[in-house]
Amino acid sequence: MFADIWLYLVLGVLVVVGAGLALVRGRHSRHERHGETDESVETGETPTTVGTSGDADPDTAAAPSEAGLEPGAEPEPGGTDSGGPATAAATTVDVERPESVAGRMVRLRARLARAGGLGSTLLSLLSRGDLDESDWEEIEETLLLADIGSGPTDELMTALRTRVKVLGTTDPEQVRALLREELLTLVDSGMDRRLAVSPVTGDDGEPHPATVLVVGVNGTGKTTTVGKLARVLVAEDKDVLLGAADTFRAAAADQLSTWGERVGVSVVRADREGADPASVAFDAVKAGRENGVDTVLVDTAGRLQNKAGLMDELGKIRRVISRHAPVSEVLLVLDATTGQNGMRQAQVFSEAVDVTGIVLTKLDGTAKGGIVVAVQRELGVPVKFVGLGEGPDDLAPFDAAGFVDALLD
Ligand SMILES: Nc1nc2c(ncn2[C@@H]2O[C@H](COP(=O)(O)OP(=O)(O)OP(=O)(O)O)[C@@H](O)[C@H]2O)c(=O)[nH]1
C-alpha cells in the first residue's frame, strides 16, 4: 500500500519536473530565434524587419481577391484579387552586406573564361599563318558552335579574312589585338547597359519607384536573378521592394522571401498558390510607392502555354503596374546554356512584351559565350547583367570589354 503511494508520488514529481523543463526549453529556443534581432535593435543597427506594406492599406487588405475580378479583368486601385492581401513575412534576421558591384566581373573572370573556348580556339587558329580554306572553315565552325549566330559569323569571317590578309602576320599579340577589336564590335561596346532603377517623377509630379519586371521561361533563373539583383541594388544603397508575382509555384515566393530577408528587403507576396500575378504586382508597386522605395523588382512566372496567353498575362501585369508607376525596365532572363532553343523563347517573350534588357544566366556553365552576340542581335536590346554562378553575388553588370578579354584569356 505504502509502496503504491510512494510510486505515485515519485511519478507525479517526475511529470511536474519534466513539464517544467519542456517549458523552459521552449522559451529558450524562441528566445534564441529572436535573440539576434533584439540584440541588433538594442545596438542601434539597421532595423531588419522583413515585411510588406501591402497590408498597410485596409482597402487593399479588403475583399477576398478573386471577388470583383472577372477572368482577365484588372485589379482596381485599392482592391486585390491576389487571394487576399499580399502577406507580410514577419521574420527578423541579421542582414548581410552584399558584395559591392564594381569589379564583380573581374572576380568572376575565371568562370567567364570557361565560356571562352571560342576566344582561345580562334586565337590559335588565326596564329597559324597562311590560312587555307579548311582553316577558315574551322574558324567558321568554331563561331557557329559558340552560338554566335549565322549573321554575326558571316560578318566576323569577312572582317577577319580581310584584316588577317592586310596584317600579314602571325604574331600572337597582333592577332589577339585584331580579334579583340572585331569581337568588341560584335558585342557592341556602345550599347547603353545601365539599368533604370532610380525613382521617376510621374505625370502627377509625384515621385514613383522605378519598377523592373523580370520575365522569362521557367527554370532560366528568374527568381534567383531577382534575388541577386536586389543585392546589387542594396550594395548601391538603394531602397528596394520585391513583388513575388510568380504565383504559379509557391516555392518561388518562399525563395524570394529568403533572398529578401538576407538583405533586409521586403517582399510582397500572395497568400496562396495560383493567385492573380497582376494583383500581386499591383500590390507590390503600390506598397513601394507608399513607402517611398527607389526600386520595385517584380518576379513573374514563365509557364504559359502560348504566345497569346503570355501576352495577356504580361500585358495585364504591365498595365496594372503603370497605374502606380511607369514600368522602367522589362528584363528578359535567358539561360545561356539553352542555345538556339533559348533564342526562340527570347523571341516569343520579346513579341509579348517590350524587353529593355537581357540577363544571361548560367554563363559559367557553358562554352557558348557567343550567345551574348546572337541574343543582342536578335532582340536589338543589350545584355545588361550576366549570371556567373549560384552564389548570391554571382551576378555582374555586363561589360563588353571585360567579357571579350575573358574570352581571349
Ligand atoms: N550555375 C548557375 N546557376 C544559376 C544561375 N542563375 C540561376 N541558377 C540556378 O538555376 C536554377 C533555377 O533558378 P530559378 O531562379 O529557380 O529559376 P526560375 O526561372 O525562377 O524558375 P521558375 O520559378 O520555375 O519559373 C537554380 O538552381 C539556380 O541556382 C547562374 O548564373 N549560374
Residue 233 CB-density burial (10 A; 0-12 exposed, 13-18 middle, 19+ buried)? buried
| Number of domains into which the chain is organized | 2
Closest CA to 234 of 390, 108, 395: 395
Which 3 state secondary structure label does DSSP give 246?
A: coil
Shared domain check, 133 and 266: no
Mean pLDDT, to the nearest integer, of 51-56? 36
Final residue of a structural domain among 161, 187, 213: 187
pLDDT of residue 174: 87
Higher pLDDT, 64 or 156: 156
Give the best-scoring range by mean pLDDT among 19-28, 81-90, 329-338. Answer: 329-338
Separation of CA 106 and ligand 1 centre (Å): 22
Query: Is 209's pLDDT higher than 70?
Result: yes
Residues 152 and 220 reside in one and the same domain: no
**Is there a domain that residue 25 lies in?**
no
Looking at the structure, do residues 176 and 118 belong to the same domain, yes or no?
yes
Would you state the pLDDT for residue 334? Answer: 94
Does position 12 have pLDDT exceeding 90, yes or no?
no
Same domain, 345 and 256: yes
Give a yes or no: residue 41 inside a domain: no
What amino acid occupies position 243? G
Which one of 247, 371, 390, 393 would you pick to mutate in the ligand 1 pocket, going by the greatest count of ligand atoms within 8 A of its CB?
Answer: 390
SS in 3 state form for 340-391? HHHHHHHHHHHHHCCCCEEEEECHHHCCCCCHHHHHHHHHCCCEEEEECCCC
Residue with cell 497582376: 278
Does residue 325 fall inside a structural domain? yes
Q: Check whether residue 332 and residue 205 sit in a common domain.
A: yes
Cell of 162: 580581310
If asked whether residues 240 and 305 sit together in one domain, one would say yes
Q: Is the CB of 218 under 6 A from ligand 1?
A: yes
State the closest ligand 1 atom to the C-alpha of 255, by its place in the atom list counted from 1. Answer: 16
Instruction: Give me the mean pLDDT over the 94-119 stretch.
Output: 78
Residues 145 and 272 in one domain: no
The fraction of the chain above a pLDDT of 90, given in percent, is 41
Residue list, annotated binding site: 216-223, 299-303, 361-364
Please report the pLDDT score of residue 159 as a whole number: 92
| Domain identity same for 206 and 333 | yes
Question: Is 262 in the same domain as 337?
Answer: yes
ipTM for the assembly: 0.96
Integer-rounded Cα radius of gyration of the chain? 27
pLDDT of residue 305: 62
Q: Does the Cβ of 390 fall within 6 Å of ligand 1?
A: yes
Same domain, 172 and 226: no
Q: How is residue 343 written as a grid cell?
A: 533564342
**Of the residues 332, 355, 378, the one at which a domain ends:** 355
Q: Is 69 domain-assigned?
A: no
CA of 361 to the centre of ligand 1 (A): 8
- Which ligand 1 atom lies nearest to the CA of residue 246? 23
> Which ranges constitute the DSSP H helices of 236-367?
250-262, 277-290, 307-322, 339-352
Residue 310 forms part of a structural domain:
yes
Mean pLDDT to the nearest integer, 181-188: 93
CA of 407 to the centre of ligand 1 (A): 23
Structure confidence at residue 24 (pLDDT): 32
Residue 297 φ/ψ, nearest 5 degrees: -105, 125
Q: Residue 387 Cα, ligand 1 centroid: separation in angstroms?
A: 9
Q: Do both 237 and 339 map to the same domain?
A: yes
Average pLDDT over residues 33-60: 29
Measured distance CA(89)–CA(134) in Å, rounded? 62
Q: With a 6 A CB cut-off, is 219 part of the ligand 1 pocket?
A: yes
What is the average per-residue pLDDT within 141-152?
90
Q: Measured from the CA of 220, which atom of ligand 1 is nearest?
A: 19
Q: Is residue 100 part of a domain?
A: no
Domain extent, residue 241, equals 200-355
Rounded to 5 degrees, φ, ψ at 365 are -110, 20
Report yes or no on 194 lying in a domain.
no
293 within 8 A of 246, measured Cβ to Cβ? no
Q: Is residue 60 part of a domain?
A: no
Nearest ligand 1 atom, CA 387:
31
CATH number (domain holding residue 131): 1.20.120.140
Q: Residue 347 sits in a domain of what CATH number? A: 3.40.50.300
When pLDDT is cut at 50, 70 and 90, the band that residue 130 belongs to is: confident
With residues binned 3-state (H G I as helix, E B as strand, rest as coil), the percentages for the chain, rounded to 5, are 50, 10, 35
CA angle 27, 28, 30 (to 5 degrees): 65
In the chain, what percentage of residues exceed pLDDT 70?
76
- Give the confidence band of 249 by pLDDT, cuts at 50, 70, 90: confident
How many CA atoms lie less than 13 Å away from 80 in the CB half-sphere?
32
What is the mean predicted confidence (pLDDT) over 78-88?
41
Look up the pTM and report it. 0.78
pLDDT for position 122: 86
DSSP label of 116: G
- pLDDT tens digits for range 376-405: 999 999 999 999 999 999 999 999 998 888
- Going by pLDDT thresholds of 50, 70 and 90, the confidence category of residue 85 is very low
CB 228 near ligand 1, within 6 Å: no
- Amino acid occupying residue 127: S
Are the C-beta atoms of residues 401 and 189 closer than 8 Å to each other? yes
- Residue 283, Cα to own-chain centre: how many angstroms? 20
What is the reported pLDDT for 101?
86
Q: Is 304 in the pocket of ligand 1 (CB under 6 A)?
A: no
Confidence of residue 164 (pLDDT cuts 50, 70, 90): confident
